[in-house]
Amino acid sequence: MEFQIAWRNIWRNPRRTVIIMIAVIIGVWTMIALTSLMRGMVADMLDRGIATLTGDIKIYPAGFHDDPSISFQINDADFVLSKIANAFPEDTQYASRVRVNAIASNARHSAGLTLVGIDPGQEKGVSFIGNGVLDGRMISRDDKNAIVVGQALLEKFETRIGRKLILMSQDRQNEITSKAYKIVGVFRSKLASTEKQFVFVSKSSAQNMLGMENGVSEISIVLADHEKTGRVAESISTALNGSDLEIYTWKDLLPMLKSYMEVFDGFIVLWFLVIFVAMAFGIVNTMLMAVYERMREFGLLKALGMKPALILRSVLIESGIILAIGAFAGNLLAIGLVMIIAATGIDLSALASGLEYAGVSSIIYPELVLKDVFLANGVVMVLGLAVSIYPAVKASRITPVEAMAHT
Amino acid sequence: MPIVEVKGVDKVYHQGDTAVHALDNIHLSMDAGSFAAIAGPSGSGKTTLLNMIGGLDLPDHGDVIVDGRHFSEMNQSQLAQLRLNRIGFVFQAYNLIPVLSAVENVEYVMLLQGVEKAERRDRAMAMLDEVGLTEKYDNRPAELSGGQQQRVAVARAIVSNPAIVLADEPTANLDSKTGEGLLRIMAEMNERRNVTFIFSTHDKMVMDYAHRLVLLRDGMIDDDRSK
């Protein structure tokens, strides 16, 4: 009967109840929907960071990380991979690459960039270049002088497919070496900076140009589940113990992203609390109004022998019902919206340049995390009830004599 | 043995710097089964005295004893328990809980007492029958007339078999015919169930119905006579 009475009391002033419910709905909806969007952005930043030739785990020759010179190389990548294959979970993909700083030039322009020698067949699912090219064709494994460049670089160099591009770098003997390549394809990336930074040739061509024989600069490993990175990296480290190789995870290679992700959870809690504080004013105000309007009634109940704790409980039940309905509707709205947006993504291309600067795609796919949903509901329900204690205590403390004098 | 004893009760209210002597050394005793009225002009202290007897307010000095329980020895929780089980109230207005139907209002006290649902409903319906409101059992207070609301309040006050029922100006908002009907019901309850009724009133009809009349003036007993 307590819930029945509370339910009826809630609807004594439907407009007020609906207003406070709307406040709760908007609060919960905002908490869940926007957090999902932010999680989507962070996940996108991570996927993009990993796909931009980083991988979940990277194996470098000792010294290469601090001094990315071609003089450091992994002599036999296949042997290394055979040693660590047992550490790979299912669906693990990998690629070995040659990577060196170079200068590209044509008749009009020149620019510093990173020359990457790849085996195109290995890159699918490992890095963005595995997705193919926008125009022209992808380099093949045995191409000797074919090169794929980014759209932004193509525009910057005012060149096109079929034209030559000269690459100059330092070889294993520390001699300057250069080679003329023919542009055969153009890749697109979501970030223009990526399109300007990387050019791709076949691994064999790069090895030949730089005098590396079968050597590579790195082995990049991508896991199906990023969460397993630490554990797999440890296993690889154990398997390669004693070798002159170094193992890095994306957390080592993308420290800013790692830090951002670490503070993100704390930021969400803070964000929820800020939304709640705004909501709390509405809850307290409305509950106080509801309580003051019914002071005589509370006095009557006390005169009849109702104990203060029961009055306190009855007000909290009313508040709890409003919060629960609001939270439920807010969840439905937020989850519905996230599911709709998750199918197509939300296009933020109007903010593309700013997003690009932060390393985020212009299309964001929200990511609903159960932990956030529980946290949002927990904050609203627990703190909502906590702030309702004040009006409830007011109601429970009134004496019948004071209440009867209340107008 | 008296069901109510008021022994040397003083009550002073402070309004700013002014002290108002609401009750001044009141001594009063009522036997079980009384049907008594406390009358007097406005500000004479009758509602204050009724509040004291009901344990809604406590005296500055003196003691109130109801059903053998000394209020001076009880805390608020014990007083609430005593009110719940041994004292019924009928107020002048705002008597009923607006969101509950007539029968639910009557049931409510029994709910607080922990009476089982089925028994609550049976007893509440029987009580509504006694006050002639069987037909209106499902109506909410807003759908009842003032007289019907007061009859529901009487039913609620009686339903838990209290030692005393305190009625603060129960007829004040009723026309004389409705007021008399209500008084008749309470007189019948008093006779049939031997429930003690104590009214505060300045309604002559209530005074006529009462078997005993206590007149207050300026917080003191001016007259106390039985009929």
ipTM for the complex shown: 0.89
Question: Is the Cβ pair A401, B57 closer than 8 Å?
Answer: yes
Strand partners, A170: A176
Which run of H or E residues covers position B87? Answer: strand B87-90
- What residues in B contact A399, CB-CB < 8 Å? 56-57
Question: Residue A401's pLDDT is what?
Answer: 84
Please choose, from the candidates A296, A313, A317, A309, the residue with its C-alpha nearest in 3D space to the C-alpha of residue B80.
A309
Picking from B56, B85, B98, the nearest residue to A303 by CB comes out as B56
Nearest CA in chain A to B156: A304
C-alpha A400/C-alpha A402 separation (Å) is: 5
How many Cβ atoms are within 10 Å of B119's Cβ, its own excluded?
11
Question: Residue A346's pLDDT is what?
Answer: 83
Average pLDDT rounded to a whole number, residues B48-75: 92
Nearest CA in chain A to B77: A307
C-alpha B49/C-alpha B23 separation (Å) is: 7
Asked if B186 and B194 count as a contact pair (C-beta separation under 8 A), the reply is no
Residue holding tokens 């009849």? A304
Picking from A12, A307, A404, the nearest residue to B80 by CB comes out as A307
**Residues 377 through 406 of chain A touching chain B, CB cutoff 8 Å:** 399-401, 404
C-alpha A399/C-alpha B58 separation (Å) is: 11
Residue holding tokens 């939300």? A346
How many Cβ atoms are within 10 Å of A76's Cβ, its own excluded?
12
From A390's Cα to the closest Cα of chain B, the distance in A is 21
C-alpha B21/C-alpha A342 separation (Å) is: 74
DSSP codes of every residue in A347-389: E-GGGHHHHHHTT--SEE-----HHHHHHHHHIIIIIHHHHHH
Domains defined along chain B, listed by start = 2-226 (3.40.50.300)
Strand partners, A266: none
First to last CA, chain B: 20
Question: Is the Cβ pair B84, A305 closer than 8 Å?
Answer: yes
Q: How far is CA A352 from the centre of its chain?
A: 17
Picking from B51, B82, B100, the nearest residue to A5 by CB comes out as B100
Tokens of B202: 């300045």
Contact status of B13 with chain A (Cβ, < 8 Å) = no
Taken in order A11, A16, A17, A18, the sign of the CA dihedral is: positive
Question: Residue B9's pLDDT is what?
Answer: 93
- What residues in B contact A8, CB-CB < 8 Å? 99-100
Contact status of A12 with chain B (Cβ, < 8 Å) = yes
Contact status of A304 with chain B (Cβ, < 8 Å) = yes
C-alpha A291/C-alpha A233 separation (Å) is: 60
Question: Is the Cβ pair B80, A5 closer than 8 Å?
Answer: no
From B57's Cα to the closest Cα of chain A, the distance in A is 7
Cα three-residue angle B65-B66-B69, rounded to 5 degrees: 70
Question: Is the Cβ pair A5, B97 closer than 8 Å?
Answer: yes
% of chain B residues with pLDDT over 70? 100
- What residues in B contact A310, CB-CB < 8 Å? 112
Tokens of A304: 């009849």
| Chain A interface test: which of B82, B94, B101 (most A C-beta within 10 Å) | B94
DSSP codes of every residue in A260-286: HHHHHHHHHHHHHHHHHHHHHHHHHHH
Question: Residue A280's pLDDT is what?
Answer: 87
The list of chain A residues with pLDDT below 70 reads: 350-361, 406-407
Q: What is the largest CA-CA distance in chain B?
A: 54
Question: Is the Cβ pair B97, A297 closer than 8 Å?
Answer: yes
Backbone phi, psi, residue A42, to 5°: -65, -45
Backbone phi, psi, residue B41, to 5°: -70, 170
Question: Is the Cβ pair A300, B77 closer than 8 Å?
Answer: no
How many Cβ atoms are within 10 Å of B17's Cβ, its own excluded?
5
**Residues 137 through 156 of chain A touching chain B, CB cutoff 8 Å:** none
% of chain B residues with pLDDT over 90? 66
How many Cβ atoms are within 10 Å of A172's Cβ, its own excluded?
17
Question: Residue B181's pLDDT is what?
Answer: 87
Confidence of residue B202 (pLDDT cuts 50, 70, 90): confident
From A9's Cα to the closest Cα of chain B, the distance in A is 6
- Supply the DSSP symbol for A89: P
Tokens of A391: 């009006």
From B223's Cα to the closest Cα of chain A, the distance in A is 26
Asked if A278 and A1 count as a contact pair (C-beta separation under 8 A), the reply is no
Domain coordinates in residue numbering, chain A: 2-49+257-405, 55-253
Going through A188-284 in order, the beta strands assigned E by DSSP cover 198-202, 218-222, 245-249
Picking from A5, A305, A310, the nearest residue to B99 by CB comes out as A5
Question: Is the Cβ pair A304, B83 closer than 8 Å?
Answer: yes
Which run of H or E residues covers position A204? Answer: helix A203-210
Pairing of strands B164-168, B196-201: parallel
C-alpha A203/C-alpha A119 separation (Å) is: 6
